[in-house]
Structure 1
Amino acid sequence: MPVASARTDVLIVGGGPVGLTARALLERWGVRVLLVEKHGELSPFPRSRLVNVRSMEIYRQLGLAAEITAGAFAPEYGRIRFRDTLYDRDFATAAMVGVNAPVPESPVIGAVTSQDRLEPILLAGADTQVRFGVELIDLAEETDSVVALLVDHQRGDEIRVHARYVLAADGANSTVRQLLGVDSTGPGVMGGFTTVVFDADLNRWCAQQPAGVYLTAHGSFAPLYPEGGWAWFGPTPEDAARADWPGLVSRALGPSADVQADVLRVQHWAMNAFVAERFLHGRIVLAGDAAHAVPIIGGLGMNAGVADVHNLCWKLAGVLQGWAEPSLLETYETERRPVAHQTLRQAVANTQLMLQVQNRRRDQLQTGEKTAAQIELPWSERYFAQLGLVLGVTYDSDAVLTDNGTPPELGERGTDYVPTPEPGHRMPHLWLGYNRSTLDAFGEWFTLLTPDPTRWEQHTAAPWPLRIETLPNEHTDLCGLRPHGALLIRPDGHIGARWRDRPPSDATLHRALTAITGSATP
């Protein structure tokens, strides 16, 4: 078999949303990227359904948010509904906060959209090389690179790629993670499930009460696209190979529905729940489901992966371009592993709560209890109000310089989000001008936000990419600043340092950037 060779700065393994987002982010930094995906094309299955408000902020930065929103459902679909069958009334409902309506804490709104609609937008969002039908089968670390052995299934060729770094975004059954022998912690496989994509006219029961997901006693139903299409998912039957999928879906709709489902695709999958014990192995980095597989309830998994690479890619760029030391990459694991564990706990709790409600309702139906009886939900309307976890992520690492040496308060995040200008937190959204947020000031650079840019312009920032942005006076108190103070924002939008008043010395900014990027001891 002929063996070809290639070189790149970063080899991305996996062409799902996380790998494609990393490709777009790294291209913005001018990093050479090769992305390989073992399947011959993008996934035709809907899979992930929710792009939360934080992911949309990242896609706004990449210039992709408007296109994603244009192909997504209207905001009123940002809701879940519990019903006995699809044609019954709701016995419970909950809004997806930050998706069903705008929130004052962000300039964007999340979206309900299918993964097979999202991925083509992400693929078109960058020009760096992508090769489908190419699978990684082995890798070895060398002193200054990783050598990956790939197989091109279409051509029958082997390819040896020398990459300075490998980013593994190849899913819960990650080949890279297995080759590295990285263990994981958590519940593991929580069950086998099947998704059935089908066509049927269900508008009579759903048009007036839209939702992103209808959770019933006989499985869950989800509209796929604004123009039509549906998916049903539930536990995989024991004899899946012989299952009558059109009949199963029709029965799940209920005996009174009298609807024939036109089945288009069937996919079996396992609901995994784990966090890898390591995210970083030399020059190989795990992200997304390869690092943490999260149950789908609550729509946290894919979005956590997008946040992973948003945290990671500026650090990779800094190391590759020479303005950061390799030790900066260690902060990726330090910052993201606690978030992964917290996300997993929330998703497992969401799954358990959902199953409790469905099982109790199913028991009522089977025992002949009055079906109109209300079930006391084990959560409130705030079930999907997870802004604390989505926007309130806090980092504590060497890449954050805290006020007075006090580490950020991490704690458990969940429903509540209180914007704060403390180091380690996401910089709060504040309007800088017409339709221009503080979040729009961030990009492939560090940002210094200050009400007194003249005083700070004399401070040297070389060799780091830095822009100085004027903070309107009306936001000074909100940011905990005096007239000459400043906030130093990392490229991922998290606050790296804060000076409440005038800089202590001309070397202040240089020392801070040196410390954050690990370049040397300040």
Structure 2
Amino acid sequence: MPMADTEVDVLIVGGGPVGLTARALLERWGVPTLLVEKHRGLSPFPRSRLVNARSMEIYRQLGLAEGIGARAFAPEFGHIRFRDTLTGAEFASAPVAGVNAPIPESPVIGVVTSQDRLEPALLAAAGAPVRFGVELVGLAEGAQDVVATLVDHRRGAARTHVRARYVLAADGANSSVRRRMGIGTTGPGALGDFSAVVFDADLGRWCADRPAGVYFTAHGSFAPLYPEGGWAWFGPTPEDPADADWPALLARALGDGDGVRADVLRVQHWVMNALVAERLRRGRILLAGDAAHAVPVFGGMGMNAGLADVHNLCWKLAGVLQGWAGPGVLDSYEPERLPVAGRTLRRTVANTRRALDVQGRRREQCASGGPELRAEEVELPWSEGFFAQLGLVLGVGYRSGAVLGGAGPAPDADTGDTDDTDDRDDTDYVPTAEPGHRMPHLWLTRDRSTLDAFGTWFTLLTADPALWACQSAGSWPLRVERLTGEHAWHCGLTPHGALLVRPDGHIGARWHGRPPGASALHDALATITSAPRP
């Protein structure tokens, strides 16, 4: 292995929202990191638009939710609308659950914002070094560490070597780390070539009293970029994009003849991928975000799934690096997150196929000059549960060695190849305190949720702290939080029972009544963290 110029605990590859969030989470744990990003700066394009309620819960834990929400759109933009053109008549609208209004299942609300507005907030959230314009070109894994070869394109392609205990790859759908590891993918693959056109226009006449985060039209989709102005149009890339008349294409989608002046500012092309990695880990190298699962943009799930990845992973890395967890705890990452990736892909592929099919058919109807349809007769580009996926946002349950007593086997990863569009499991969320599930939100005080009790520690929730005080927590970080009797009952506990909640807010163990022995808590923590037994 080559000699290293720098040593660090975790090398993060990729400076998008997932990599930046991992950097902030690991810094909160006191884990030294280095983040490298091959591009010379943060993304100048809006790209991901929705930060859902679960992601905002993560940012609340990091102290970032208030600032992110302050620069985002107001809740009334948490709707989608469908028209033939942006300036045309509206056929239907639908709310985005957990974004358009507060929900009782969470202390926060999701927001509509733009990735180029989110990323600077995430960059400022931690002080660990970030090196832009630096590309990973080689990996050599040993028994105790990984040596990465980096090329700094800002310094004449100078090469350096970084020795890391672990590598967290969040370097996108075309992940160079995933390819270098020889990890294959499953799923439909490329669903088409798409373009985003960023433009300025005064569209208040058609949108001010009908706000939305997304306007579907027969000719692509529109999205307001920032509360103070700016727009983007998303649609299939024409056959010859270099010679495309973007102002004319945009004018057709806006509505010819309505006198809208639109100034095109920039255009970006990308391939809409739909894939899931066959595995999320090889040795000391772990995949997260689009590197692990690239899902279509329809439904707003891709970035949010990546944020949940690193929220799941970072406490485990911290435990291994700080000595209170064994390396085996990392074995739980793949069985916990890979099934979620498959489920997310299945749902977003179904969303995408429906939206594109309906938009295409409606575009053909408009071009043929067929009979005028009443609004209720127009087929909609979304299913009933298109943006009501709280089951998938808040209802994820894990089955792994880091969960004690979870019911049933781990589900198989779904590749998204199926056309099954039954989305009841994705839309319906019923709070549960079953092991493996996210701890339900309950108000401990007027403005403090059960979710606020979690951080860089395990949390024991019980209505009888004195009884559990005699339980040894060993060297694990642990805090005890009192539940009211009513809350304990809602969680399926007797007055003497307890829940052991992992740092990511998922329940690791549950005792309905008194501890079964003097070492019950110690044994549970040891099992969850794969710690070596004395």
Q: Secondary structure at the match of 1:432?
A: coil
User: Does residue 391 of the first structure (1) align with residue 403 of the second (2)?
Assistant: no
The residue that corresponds to 1:219 in the other structure is: 220
Q: Aligned partners of 2:280 and 2:383: how far apart in 1?
A: 35
Is the Cα–Cα contact under 8 Å of residues 335 and 410 in structure 2 kept in the other structure? no
Aligned residue identity for 2:286: V
**1:358-397 map, 5 Å:** 358-373=359-374, 374-377=377-380, 381-397=384-400
| Superposed CA offset, 1:46-81 (max 9, x none) | 000000000000000000000000010000111111
**1:260-339 map, 5 Å:** 260-339=261-340
Equivalent pairs, count: 519
Q: Aligned partners of 2:200 and 2:271: how far apart in 1?
A: 24
Identity of aligned residues (%): 69
User: Does residue 431 of the first structure (1) align with residue 443 of the second (2)?
Assistant: yes
The residue that corresponds to 2:344 in the other structure is: 343
Q: Secondary structure at the match of 1:311?
A: helix
The residue that corresponds to 1:469 in the other structure is: 481
Offset at residue 371 of structure 1 (A): 3.4
Given candidates 440, 454, 457, the residue that maps to 1:442 is: 454
Unaligned 5+ runs, structure 2: 413-422
Offset at residue 264 of structure 1 (A): 1.2
| Superposed CA offset, 1:462-496 (max 9, x none) | 21100000011221110100111000000000000
Offset at residue 128 of structure 1 (A): 0.8
Q: Secondary structure at the match of 1:340?
A: helix
Is the Cα–Cα contact under 8 Å of residues 94 and 382 in structure 1 kept in the other structure? no
Q: Aligned partners of 1:451 and 1:408: how far apart in 2?
A: 30
Unaligned 5+ runs, structure 1: none
| Superposed CA offset, 1:75-127 (max 9, x none) | 01111111001111221222110001111000000000000000000000111
Is the Cα–Cα contact under 8 Å of residues 401 and 516 in structure 1 kept in the other structure? yes
**1:67-106 map, 5 Å:** 67-106=67-106
TM-score, length of structure 1 as denominator length: 0.97
The residue that corresponds to 2:416 in the other structure is: none
TM-score, length of structure 2 as denominator length: 0.95
Q: Aligned partners of 2:382 and 2:45: how far apart in 1?
A: 31
Q: Secondary structure at the match of 1:329?
A: helix
Q: Secondary structure at the match of 1:57?
A: helix
Deviates more, 1:240-249 or 1:214-223: 240-249
Offset at residue 251 of structure 1 (A): 2.4
Q: Aligned partners of 1:457 and 1:192: how far apart in 2?
A: 59
Aligned residue identity for 2:401: D
Q: Secondary structure at the match of 1:474?
A: helix
Aligned residue identity for 1:382: G
Q: Aligned partners of 2:185 and 2:121: how far apart in 1?
A: 32
The residue that corresponds to 1:500 in the other structure is: 512
RMSD: 1.6
Offset at residue 182 of structure 1 (A): 0.6
Offset at residue 376 of structure 1 (A): 4.0
Given candidates 415, 418, 421, the residue that maps to 2:430 is: 418
The residue that corresponds to 2:125 in the other structure is: 125
Is the Cα–Cα contact under 8 Å of residues 351 and 382 in structure 2 kept in the other structure? no
Q: Aligned partners of 1:12 and 1:75: how far apart in 2?
A: 33
Is the Cα–Cα contact under 8 Å of residues 394 and 409 in structure 1 kept in the other structure? no
Q: Aligned partners of 1:425 and 1:166: how far apart in 2?
A: 27
Aligned residue identity for 1:139: L
Q: Aligned partners of 1:128 and 1:310: how far apart in 2?
A: 18
| Superposed CA offset, 1:171-221 (max 9, x none) | 001010111111000000000000010101111110010000111111111
User: Does residue 164 of the first structure (1) align with residue 176 of the second (2)?
Assistant: no
| Superposed CA offset, 1:291-347 (max 9, x none) | 000000000000000000000000000111111111110100010000000000000
Aligned residue identity for 1:416: D
Is the Cα–Cα contact under 8 Å of residues 23 and 33 in structure 2 kept in the other structure? yes
